[in-house]
């Protein structure tokens, strides 16, 4: 890990290919989690996939709706149109279920996005520092849990991280004066526009381009300040202008359907400014993202290294590190202003943080021998711990989902025509509960709208509960921001009067007997590891 170390040319492609292969194998584990099957043929267990694909299909047929603009542009939905087409093509050519094939294609796209991101991190690390730095940074990203598992879902997060990494590479080329400046400015502006058309928080990338331009003009600024300011302004205007072209090329519907665009932003604002229960009473969002969420995204060892790398970079103020921080810090500040606190929002941070960590360890390894030993030991421990987390959570994804297991048990053990009550988070929520059986009679309670007293006054023979959707109700109790019906639900969930727990279905996150469930408690991880409890009415046997 010496500063001037260059990996031999014949080794670099082989090592990079090995890293990409490792990234591929980690991401293939669980790629088929929650897919449509005989129990739930009309949806997967991730609540966003069916909706996103449906909205893309509507856009493809010319039915533009506000939901097509919830991310700030329609570029992601354009990629979903291709996924819908490929899913239909594969079904026509090879058979199978259309929705299954389409979701599998979409998840495969996510896997490809992830591998391309790993490669771009290598390329950026090589451009800013050295091939060895790029390789090690690529290895870091390849094993980070959040980057592994969000490659397995039909969502824009992995594509967004890929676009951030691509922007980092162009910024690095500007800083290192690779290719002509005008070429990099135009390419960077176009890419920035496409990235904003994917998700509008990408506007923070403009800070990175501004810093890159400022750094390369720093010496000129000292000699001729007015002329250099004009030159810098001109360069920034090139990026701004070409980014507008890139945005309009990637999301032309924004101009054609302006009212729907505004409505889509209002929907997103409603989500991001509302109450997110998983974040209530856990401290300010900057504290949660800077602690609990980032720890779950990368694991404790890499979390410590990333914090140290940010502090070290601010202390050293090296141009290469300042370039990365110019994007990382504004994006983190933006995260702290959102309502939702989830691991998937951290993905754009991970490419830059991976490079910062390796650059710091690279510096330490060139100093005293003890620091070199520490740097090598730290990266080895962090990588192995991250891989252990990956394998532990993959065990959950590969196993039978508790919802499916619960449905099979209900079918085999609950009397025909028995009445079953269950809780939903919203209308259309088919994802949190076990698939409905047809031998029994199901009744659902909408936790956001209906009266819990009315629901519980009905003499259900059984009540099925996804404990995770009640976890915040139990945690907050009377401090719940919406006391009714949640307060009553809190009282019932802690003491389900008249009912006895008869069975529970769940999957443990563990490897070689070591419980790692505490690393995966974020709500977007819990989707794949629910706990399903089945309660039976105490008086049911006596009535029979």
Q: Where are the domains of the chain?
A: 12-397, 402-543
Confidence category of residue 469, pLDDT binned at 50, 70, 90: confident
Q: Which of 271-280, 369-378, 491-500 has the highest mean pLDDT?
A: 369-378
Instruction: Give 260-304 pLDDT, tens digit per residue.
Output: 999 999 998 888 888 888 888 888 999 999 999 999 999 999 999
Positive or negative CA dihedral for 404, 409, 415, 418?
Answer: negative
Using only C-alpha atoms, what is the Rg of the chain?
A: 25
Hey, what are 134's tokens?
Answer: 């790029």
Please determine, for residue 107, whether its predicted confidence score (pLDDT) is greater than 50.
yes
Secondary element (H or E) of residue 279: none
Confidence category of residue 483, pLDDT binned at 50, 70, 90: low
**1 contacts: CB under 8 Å, gap ≥ 6:** 132, 136, 361, 362, 365, 366, 372, 375, 376
The closest alpha carbon to 165, from 117, 131, 199, belongs to 117
Torsion of CA 276, 280, 283, 289, to 10 degrees: -30
> What single string gives the DSSP state of each residue in 305-346?
HHHHHHHHHHHH--HHHHHHHHHHHHHHHHHTT-S---GGGG
Report the percentage of the chain scoring pLDDT > 90. 72
Instruction: Give 432-451 pLDDT, tens digit per residue.
Output: 999 998 888 998 887 776 66
**210 contacts: CB under 8 Å, gap ≥ 6:** 236, 326
Q: What is the pLDDT of residue 4?
A: 47
Cis amide bond preceding 219, omega within 30: no
The predicted model gives 390-402 an average pLDDT of 93
Q: What is the pLDDT of residue 1?
A: 47
Least confident of 339-348, 405-414, 477-486: 477-486
Q: What is the pTM of this model?
A: 0.93
Hey, what are 467's tokens?
Answer: 């404990």
Q: Bigger pLDDT: 165 or 512?
A: 165
Hey, what are 160's tokens?
Answer: 């967004």
Residues 193, 242 contacting (CB under 8 angstroms): yes
Q: How far apart are CA 402 and CA 85, in angstroms?
A: 32
């Amino acid at each position: 890990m010496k500063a001037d170390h260059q990996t031999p040319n014949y080794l670099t492609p082989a090592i990079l290919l090995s890293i990409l292969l490792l990234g591929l194998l980690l991401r293939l584990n669980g790629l088929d989690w929650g897919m449509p099957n005989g129990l739930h043929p009309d949806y997967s267990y991730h609540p966003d996939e069916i909706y996103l694909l449906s909205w893309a299909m509507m856009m493809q047929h010319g039915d533009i709706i506000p939901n097509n603009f919830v991310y700030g542009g329609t570029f992601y939905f354009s990629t979903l149109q291709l996924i819908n087409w490929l899913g239909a093509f594969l079904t026509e050519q090879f058979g199978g279920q259309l929705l299954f094939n389409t979701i599998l294609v979409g998840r495969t796209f996510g896997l490809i996005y992830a591998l391309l991101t790993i490669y771009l991190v290598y390329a950026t690390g090589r451009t800013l520092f050295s091939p060895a730095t790029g390789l090690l940074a690529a290895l870091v990203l390849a094993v980070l849990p959040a980057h592994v598992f969000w490659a397995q879902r039909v969502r824009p997060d992995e594509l967004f991280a890929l676009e951030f990494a691509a922007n980092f590479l162009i910024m690095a080329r500007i800083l290192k004066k690779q290719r002509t400046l005008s070429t990099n400015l135009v390419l960077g502006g176009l890419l920035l526009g496409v990235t904003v058309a994917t998700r509008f928080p990408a506007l923070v990338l403009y800070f990175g381009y501004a810093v890159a331009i400022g750094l390369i003009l720093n010496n000129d600024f000292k000699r001729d300040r007015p002329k250099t300011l004009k030159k810098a302004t001109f360069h920034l205007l090139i990026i701004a202008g070409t980014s507008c072209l890139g945005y309009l090329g990637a999301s032309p519907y924004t101009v054609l359907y302006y009212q729907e665009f505004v409505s889509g932003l209002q929907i997103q604002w409603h989500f991001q400014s509302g109450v997110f229960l998983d974040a209530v009473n856990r401290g300010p969002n900057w504290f949660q993202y800077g602690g609990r969420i980032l720890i779950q995204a990368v694991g404790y060892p890499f979390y410590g290294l990333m914090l140290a790398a940010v502090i070290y970079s601010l202390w050293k103020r090296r141009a290469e590190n300042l370039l990365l921080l110019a994007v990382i810090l504004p994006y983190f500040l933006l995260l702290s202003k959102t309502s939702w606190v989830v691991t998937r929002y951290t993905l754009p941070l991970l490419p830059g943080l991976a490079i910062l960590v390796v650059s710091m360890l690279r510096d330490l390894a060139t100093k005293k021998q003890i620091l070199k030993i520490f740097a090598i030991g730290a990266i080895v421990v962090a990588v192995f711990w991250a891989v252990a987390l990956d394998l532990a959570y993959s065990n959950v994804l590969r196993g039978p989902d508790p919802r499916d297991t619960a449905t099979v048990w209900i079918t085999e053990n609950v009397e025909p025509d028995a009445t079953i009550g269950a809780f939903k988070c919203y209308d259309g929520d088919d994802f949190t509960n076990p698939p409905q059986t047809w031998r029994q009679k199901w009744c659902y309670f909408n936790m956001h709208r209906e009266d819990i007293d009315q629901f519980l006054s009905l003499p259900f023979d059984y009540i099925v509960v996804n404990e995770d959707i009640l976890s915040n109700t139990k945690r907050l109790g009377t401090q719940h921001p919406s006391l009714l019906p949640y307060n009553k639900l809190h009282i019932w969930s802690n003491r389900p009067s008249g009912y006895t727990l008869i069975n529970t279905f769940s999957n443990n996150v563990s490897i070689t007997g070591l419980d790692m469930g505490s690393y995966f408690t974020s709500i977007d991880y819990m989707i794949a590891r629910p706990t399903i409890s089945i309660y039976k009415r105490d008086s049911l046997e006596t009535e029979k």
